[in-house]
């Protein structure tokens, strides 16, 4: 019988133990240039352990995601701005903006499942005083439609090319709206031709994005 367990934080485990487990998943989920190093994972967990969400299937880690709280009054453009180049040193304990730094899974549907369950809790107010959650979505379908970044036409935020991407759809399905298309938002991601789509939604009963 299938068993799924959703966990938040370290759950009395050590940072070293959890970091190694996440690093092993990263190696399965991402190309080398996209995955976080063991040192970086440890750093993030020491900064904000409660930003970690994990999904286990039959006692095996199959997906994880990590968020940080940041200053909602500052202007951000790309993933690198939102999480201080991945170091998360811009974490603010009372920040009202929650940013999704990373999500990884061994299978696509496991990542979707974790994101959906975790977002339900975040929307309901899991993080006290957080008003909005944002993430910079990959757009991997771009490389299946265009060979080079120069071939990508000028796109509107709600362009069908973006809305039909399976990663973008995952965020749309939980009420996230497109906010900004970044041409060089995540240059490491060749599959997305360097593009990213910043998306977000309000949480905790807030009503003006």
pLDDT, tens digit (0-9, with 9 covering 90-100), for 131-155: 999 999 999 999 999 988 889 998 9
Across the range 94-99, mean pLDDT stands at: 98
Supply the pLDDT for residue 184: 83
96 has pLDDT over 90: yes
Supply the pLDDT for residue 31: 78
Helix (H) or strand (E) holding 102: strand 97-105
Tell me the pairing of strands 132-137 and 177-182. Answer: unpaired
**In which band, very low, low, confident or very high, does the pLDDT at 6 lie, cut at 50, 70 and 90?**
very high
**In which band, very low, low, confident or very high, does the pLDDT at 189 lie, cut at 50, 70 and 90?**
confident
Concatenate the DSSP letters of all residues of 128-186 into one string. Answer: TT--EEEEEE--TTHHHH-SSGGGPPP--TT-HHHHT-HHHHHHHTTT-EEEEEETTTT
**In which band, very low, low, confident or very high, does the pLDDT at 204 lie, cut at 50, 70 and 90?**
confident
Across the range 7-18, mean pLDDT stands at: 98
**Percentage with pLDDT > 70 across the chain:** 98
**In which band, very low, low, confident or very high, does the pLDDT at 2 lie, cut at 50, 70 and 90?**
confident
| Residue 151 domain flag | yes
**What is the overall mean pLDDT for the chain?**
94
Supply the pLDDT for residue 163: 97
Distance CA 163, CA 180 (A): 13
| Residue 53 domain flag | yes
| Beta carbons of 195 and 139 less than 8 angstroms apart | yes
Separation in Å, CA 141 to CA 19, 94, 109, 161: 30, 36, 17, 8
Supply the pLDDT for residue 114: 98
| Residue 209 domain flag | no
CB neighbourhood size of 149 (10 A): 16
14 has pLDDT over 80: yes
Supply the pLDDT for residue 1: 65
| Residue 207 domain flag | no
Q: Print the domain residue range for 128.
A: 4-202
| Residue 74 domain flag | yes
| Number of domains present in the structure of the chain | 1
| Residue 208 domain flag | no
Q: What is the per-residue pLDDT across 22-70, written as a single tens digit (0 to 9) for each?
A: 999 999 988 777 789 999 999 999 999 999 999 999 999 999 999 999 9
Q: Residue 137: which CATH number?
A: 3.40.630.30
| Residue 64 domain flag | yes
Supply the pLDDT for residue 208: 58
């Amino acid at each position: 019988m299938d068993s799924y367990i959703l966990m938040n934080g370290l759950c009395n485990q050590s940072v070293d133990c959890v970091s190694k487990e996440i690093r092993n998943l990263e190696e399965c989920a991402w190309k080398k240039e996209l995955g976080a190093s063991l040192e970086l994972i440890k750093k993030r967990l020491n900064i904000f352990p409660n930003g970690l969400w994990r999904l286990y299937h039959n006692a095996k880690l199959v997906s994880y995601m990590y968020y940080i709280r940041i200053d909602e009054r500052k202007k951000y453009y790309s993933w690198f701005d939102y999480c201080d180049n991945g170091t998360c040193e811009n974490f603010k304990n009372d920040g009202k903006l929650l940013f999704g730094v990373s999500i990884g899974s061994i299978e696509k549907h496991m990542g979707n499942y974790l994101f959906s369950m975790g977002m339900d809790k975040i929307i309901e107010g899991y993080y006290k005083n957080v008003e909005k959650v944002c993430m910079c979505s990959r757009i991997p379908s771009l490389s299946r439609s265009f060979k080079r970044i120069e071939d990508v036409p000028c796109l509107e935020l709600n362009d069908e090319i973006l809305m039909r991407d399976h990663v973008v759809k995952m965020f749309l399905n939980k009420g996230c709206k497109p906010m900004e298309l970044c041409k060089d938002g995540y240059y490491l991601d060749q599959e997305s031709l360097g593009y990213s789509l910043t998306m977000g939604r309000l949480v905790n009963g807030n009503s003006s994005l």
